[in-house]
Amino acid sequence: MDERKYGIWLSWNNQEEGFELPVLPRELGASIRGDGAVHEVYGLGKINVIKDRGLAEYSIESIFPAIRLNEDGKAFRYPYMTASIVMEPMKYVDYIMKWWKSKRPIRFIFVGGNAYYDEAKGETISEINIPASIESFEWKEVAGSPGDIAYSLHLKEYRFYAARLIPQQNGGGTAVGSSPARPDERVQPKTYTMVAGDTLWSVAKRFLGDGTRWREIQQLNGIRDCDIRRLPVGKVLKLP
């Protein structure tokens, strides 16, 4: 990515699909609220307990311009279009609706005036580069400009998490959330076909991010304890 390039990119499933917005919005900013709690303290009055910040939210309003042809049959580029590759307007709509329906976060990247190029890493350090959930999406055809689609897209910062069990003295446990070391944005497959060298532990580690969750796979597939060490190559496992 050119360090002088301004733009907004949206992608899904570890960049399996994605695109650059063809027209940048007039403005882009983050809405971030605090999560403090107000308490009444005797003799002191109200105090505010500062907690972690809330999730950032972003609103994007722009257009997906229709592709029009010049007299020579080549695609005409409007001066306000910044993307190098431009698709038909409904293609963008279809992508966003598909990603929203998947209930998986997308990747939101914005490179603006405050971005800089890191020579050590050999890459552009983006002003915004986060996983995000699609909270709302509205679109309509622009009156007086056939084919152009005006849209409003609302995104919210997404934090990857995984529940882990903290043992208690009474033998029970409490589930708490934690962020995985390397968040995986890929869509989780529903089944897996075993190959040579696979174990339930390795399958759980690969697809669930934690080898100790192999019991969940065992129970889901009705595998007896005596069969765990002799699972055949080609066995199809259902994944939680």
41-74 pLDDT tens trace: 766 677 666 667 788 899 999 999 988 777 776 7
Which CATH number among 3.40.50.2000, 3.30.390.30, 3.10.350.10, 3.40.50.620 corresponds to the domain 188-238? 3.10.350.10
Burial of 177 (C-beta count, 10 Å sphere; 0-12/13-18/19+): exposed
131 or 49, higher pLDDT? 131
Is it the case that residue 20 has pLDDT exceeding 80?
Answer: yes
159-176 pLDDT tens trace: 887 655 556 555 555 555
Q: Which pLDDT does position 2 carry in this prediction?
A: 42
Q: Which pLDDT does position 125 carry in this prediction?
A: 60
In the chain, at which residue ranges do the beta strands (DSSP E only) sit?
7-12, 17-20, 30-31, 37-41, 45-49, 57-64, 68-69, 75-76, 106-111, 116-118, 123-125, 128-141, 149-157, 162-167, 173-178, 191-193, 236-238
Q: Average pLDDT over the chain, rounded to whole?
A: 80
Which CATH number among 2.40.37.10, 3.40.430.10, 3.30.360.10, 2.40.30.200 corresponds to the domain 7-157? 2.40.30.200
Burial of 96 (C-beta count, 10 Å sphere; 0-12/13-18/19+): buried
Q: What pTM does this model have?
A: 0.61
How wide is the angle at C-alpha 85 spanned by C-alphas 20 and 56, nearest 5°? 5
Least confident of 73-82, 84-93, 222-231: 73-82
Per the structure block, which two tokens stand in for 111? 């490179």
Give whole-number Cα distances, 162 to 29, 55, 182, in Å.
29, 18, 11
